[in-house]
Amino acid sequence: GAPPFPHPTLFRPGVPFVPFSPDHRFVLTSTDGTHAVLRDLLSGAVVRTFSHDGATGNDAVFSPNGDRVATAAADQTMRLWDTASGELLQTLAHPRSFQHPAFSPDGRSIAAAGGDRNIRIWNLETKEIIAEWNGHTGPIRELAFSPDGSRLASGSQDTSARIWDLSGRTQTIVLPPDG
């Protein structure tokens, strides 16, 4: 089960992300917007930080098994880190800032939204873009893979949600806003 969380002061106003590790032992936060901070949930202690060399951090997320952390920043890079050691494993570049990284359920690929309103998915072994989509007219606010990894959902400030099929590399559904 999940450990108790005795340190509510870890979450400060304006914290842009707070994902839990899959084992519920850690959480990622940001205190100044320039790096992700890995914290132990039992003690509240800082375990390590992941930095984009001073660039504003937009988001951070754990891989499905928790062995990696992906950080996205305004410096037009997404970086993948070894959670245990803090070692930088990979850097992926984007023509605009990265936002909202999401690992596939098997951890072999990662999706991210760009400041250009495009969604890209990279194969993490080859570093190649394996899918690229656009269609939102506003900034993309969230990405999530289906549990089987066959689809990706995107939500946007344009009030639409879209479902993308990875096998056919196509948009399959546009969900209009409620109302």
Give the C-alpha separation, 144 to 153, whole Å.
5
Give the C-alpha separation, 73 to 149, whole Å.
25
Specify the residue for token string 């002061």: 9
Cα angle, residue 36 at apex, residues 42 and 40 outer, rounded to 5°? 10
Q: DSSP secondary-structure letter at 8?
A: G
- The pTM is what? 0.83
Specify the residue for token string 């606010």: 141
The SS3 call for residue 81 is strand
- Residue 11 above 60 pLDDT? no
Higher pLDDT, 62 or 115: 62
Per-residue confidence at 152, pLDDT binned at 50, 70, 90?
A: very high
Q: Burial level of 121, CB count in 10 A (0-12/13-18/19+)?
A: buried
Instruction: Report, as an integer, the average pLDDT of 19-26.
Output: 94
Q: What is the tens place of the pLDDT at every residue in 95-108?
A: 777 778 899 999 99
